[in-house]
């Protein structure tokens, strides 16, 4: 019997990782914000040089007043100091924009780029056809480089991109061939906004590097008092800039290759264009770290298996956390004096959380969800596999280490005592908060992943995911910073006061409620995806005709809801019984001391219930357990509140709804903070145990 070879061919389809926005866009924005933070520092330093004595004199005069009058007295002086700092960032931004518009002219002169001559008419026409194929609204300007030019590149002012081609590519562009792939790759950079982002970041770095020289010049005038603490910070920041720049450019190369091959005729052209590159790769790890482009083999592997381009390395996560850690204290030191005359409590910390937390959510959170999506589709699993979760652990470790290191090396620490740099309290909050936040984001990605099968367009899934991750990182950053303030100010006593009384902020309450709603929705709707196959937007268009394609589905396990409900119900019943029994023993709450005792009892009981359910769920299921905590925890809290309401109604014939709402809402935010802490402590231990067990089994004969 005759066999049809195509009928037996099964091809695994290429996962469309471009269905999600690129996390490197958020990393670019974080990178640029950190460079603008240099301007915040320089502006504050200039204020101290010019108006330092006047500022100190004004503060000393205000100290002679009553305590309640000191804040209003120092507000104008502090506001002026904040304006100087903010003006430094504005100046850096303005100069960076000027450099951005001036750089293209410099590039044209230094690279000796020339416009096409009449003999290149066929090349220009082919160039325009490829621009139309790449769906560009306008044809970029074409430049031809000298004979010594190696690779093509794109540059230009915002809204006016240009592509420079070496003569060897120009000669091949007359007819379809490998040169088409090179040009389409550059067009993908333009369409992806890589030109604007990359050159904006580079221009900001040029200006920030110049600004970093000002304190050195000033030290020569005033004396080298700040140089020992300043020089190593500035040098380390320069190293981080180089590493981040190289890592982001490498990642954007993968995205440009994939974006150029989104249309079927372009795949072979891009593959052939990569064949024009050299095959070698630097053996020196330092040179490899500074590479702006991946090797040809790596790029070809990503073309065939796009999911390989997802996920962050430890170094990339470390740099993201470090940039956020460096930027955060600078924002706090600027926003606090600017808001000193207002009634906003901890306004500097909230501003810092809004900036750094949002950018981390757009970078780290989105990257985790994107890698889980790609890995699950590529391997046909119903949840992220062990390799992806290992990547989550690496990302969490990198982010937490970067946040802690950023706290130490931030330019905002210039002028502090050297002993303050060694205070371990400075490291506790960012490490635990960083670990817990990343694991919670990954857990919600795991439980929400099947919901992607219920939507018809990719942005219906990734837009809520981005907003959720931004909200998680924003509030978690505020929680970590406020805990850090309590620890560094009052030690463990401050942490105890923080747990008991530090929760009346509506963003935290809103996030706790939102996570509870999302967890229940994912648990209820997830099983519906069993009956659905993968959507077409999840894959790149098929490029092999006549083959049978494997399209793994993201099916749900269907056991997300049952155990957390039972666990939360049991913890809530136990907590409510304990609360009612203790309140009966205490008697009527008629004094301030009795009210404080009852509040302490409520806090300790609800925290124990939440911690117990969270620890159990994370130990049993470290992948999705941190998300299931927001099913069991609020349920246990609800039963505890119900027990208190029953007690009040039985003893006073009324249940004050306003009071119940106030203690329940603050308990929800307290539960969110406790979840971050318990997840940050339990999940790493669970992962370490699993890794040690696997290593032990591998060593068995």
How many angstroms separate the CA atoms of 412 and 37, rounded?
Answer: 10
Token pair listed for 368 = 């985790």
Tell me what pLDDT residue 6 has.
36
Give dist(CA 346, CA 335) in Å, integer: 10
Q: Is the dihedral of CA 570, 575, 577, 578 positive or negative?
A: positive
> Cα(687)–Cα(397) distance, rounded to whole angstroms?
12
- Low-confidence stretches of the chain (pLDDT beneath 50): 1-11, 416-421, 545-551, 555-558
d(CA 150, CA 152) in angstroms, rounded, equals 7
What pLDDT is recorded for position 425? 67
Q: How many residues does the chain have?
A: 701
pLDDT of the residue at 642: 82
Q: Are 372 and 447 in contact (CB under 8 A)?
A: no
Q: What is the pLDDT of residue 419?
A: 40
> For residue 552, what pLDDT is reported?
53
pLDDT digits (tens, 9 = 90+) for 578-588: 888 887 777 66
Predicted confidence at residue 667, as pLDDT, reads 82
Burial 664-685 (b: 16+ CB within 10 A, else e): bbbbbbbbbbbbbbbbbbbbbe
User: Quick one: which of 355, 313, 318 has its CA closest to 236?
Assistant: 318
pLDDT of residue 381: 58
Q: What pairing do the DSSP bridges indicate for beta strands 141-144 and 160-165?
A: parallel
pLDDT digits (tens, 9 = 90+) for 140-174: 999 999 988 888 899 999 889 999 999 988 888 88
Nearest C-alpha neighbor of 322 from the set 678, 37, 89, 90: 37
């Amino acid at each position: 019997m005759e066999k049809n070879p195509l009928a037996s061919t099964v091809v695994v389809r290429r996962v469309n990782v471009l269905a999600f926005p690129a996390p490197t866009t958020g990393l670019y924005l974080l990178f640029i914000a950190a460079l603008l933070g240099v301007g915040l520092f320089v502006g504050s330093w200039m204020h101290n040089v010019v108006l330092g004595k006047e500022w100190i004199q004004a503060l000393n005069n205000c100290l002679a007043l009553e305590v309640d009058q000191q804040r209003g007295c120092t507000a104008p002086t502090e506001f002026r100091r904040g304006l100087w700092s903010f003006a430094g960032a504005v100046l850096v931004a303005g100069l960076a924009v000027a450099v951005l518009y001036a750089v293209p002219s410099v590039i044209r002169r230094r690279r000796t780029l020339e416009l096409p001559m009449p003999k290149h008419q066929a090349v220009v026409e082919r160039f325009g056809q490829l621009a139309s194929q790449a769906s560009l609204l306008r044809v970029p300007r074409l430049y031809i480089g000298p004979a010594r030019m190696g690779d093509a590149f794109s540059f230009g002012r915002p809204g006016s991109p240009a592509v420079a081609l070496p003569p060897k590519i120009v000669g091949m562009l007359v007819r379809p061939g490998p040169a088409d792939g090179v040009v389409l790759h550059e067009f993908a950079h333009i369409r992806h906004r890589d030109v604007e982002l990359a050159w904006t970041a580079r221009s900001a770095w040029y200006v920030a590097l110049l600004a970093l020289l000002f304190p050195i010049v000033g030290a020569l005038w005033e004396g080298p008092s700040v140089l020992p603490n300043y020089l190593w910070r500035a040098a380390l920041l320069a190293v981080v800039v180089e590493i981040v720049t190289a890592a982001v450019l490498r990642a954007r190369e993968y995205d440009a290759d994939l974006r150029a091959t989104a249309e079927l005729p372009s795949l072979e052209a891009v593959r052939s264009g990569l064949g024009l590159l050299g095959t070698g790769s630097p053996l020196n790890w330092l040179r490899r770290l500074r590479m702006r482009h991946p090797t040809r083999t790596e790029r070809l592997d990503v073309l065939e298996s796009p999911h390989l381009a997802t996920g962050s390395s430890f170094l990339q996560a470390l740099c993201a956390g470090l940039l956020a850690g460096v930027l955060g204290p600078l924002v706090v030191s600027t926003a606090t004096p600017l808001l000193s005359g207002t009634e906003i409590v901890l306004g500097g910390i909230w501003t810092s959380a809004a900036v750094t937390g949002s950018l981390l959510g757009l970078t780290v959170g989105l990257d985790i969800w994107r890698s889980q999506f790609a890995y699950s589709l590529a391997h046909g699993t119903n949840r992220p596999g062990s390799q992806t979760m290992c990547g989550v652990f690496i990302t969490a470790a990198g982010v937490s280490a970067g946040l802690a290191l950023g706290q130490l090396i931030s330019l905002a620490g210039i002028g502090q005592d050297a002993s303050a740099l060694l205070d371990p309290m400075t490291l506790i909050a960012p490490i635990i908060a960083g670990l817990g936040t990343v694991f919670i984001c990954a857990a919600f990605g795991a439980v929400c992943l099947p919901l992607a099968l219920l939507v018809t367009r990719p942005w219906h899934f990734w837009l809520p995911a981005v907003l959720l991750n931004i909200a998680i990182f924003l509030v978690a950053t505020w929680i970590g910073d406020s805990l850090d303030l309590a620890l560094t100010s009052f030690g463990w006593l401050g942490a105890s006061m923080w747990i008991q009384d530090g929760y009346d902020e509506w963003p935290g309450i809103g996030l706790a409620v939102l996570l509870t709603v999302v967890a229940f929705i994912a648990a209820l709707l997830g099983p519906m995806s069993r009956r659905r196959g993968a959507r077409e937007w999840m894959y790149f268009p098929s490029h092999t005709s006549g083959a049978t394609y494997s399209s793994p589905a993201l099916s749900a396990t269907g056991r997300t809801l049952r155990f957390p409900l039972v666990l939360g119900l049991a913890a809530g019943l136990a907590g409510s019984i304990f609360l009612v029994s203790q309140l009966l023993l205490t008697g009527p709450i008629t004094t301030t001391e009795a009210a404080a005792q009852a509040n302490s009892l409520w806090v300790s009981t609800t925290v124990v219930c939440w911690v117990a359910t969270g620890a159990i769920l994370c130990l049993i299921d470290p992948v999705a357990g941190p998300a299931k905590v927001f099913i069991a925890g609020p349920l246990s809290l609800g039963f505890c509140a119900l027990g208190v309401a029953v007690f009040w109604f039985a003893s006073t014939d009324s249940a004050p709804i306003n009071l119940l709402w106030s203690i329940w809402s603050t308990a929800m935010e307290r539960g969110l903070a406790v979840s971050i802490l318990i997840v940050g402590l339990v999940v790493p231990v669970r992962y370490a145990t699993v890794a040690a067990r696997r290593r032990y089994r591998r060593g068995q004969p």
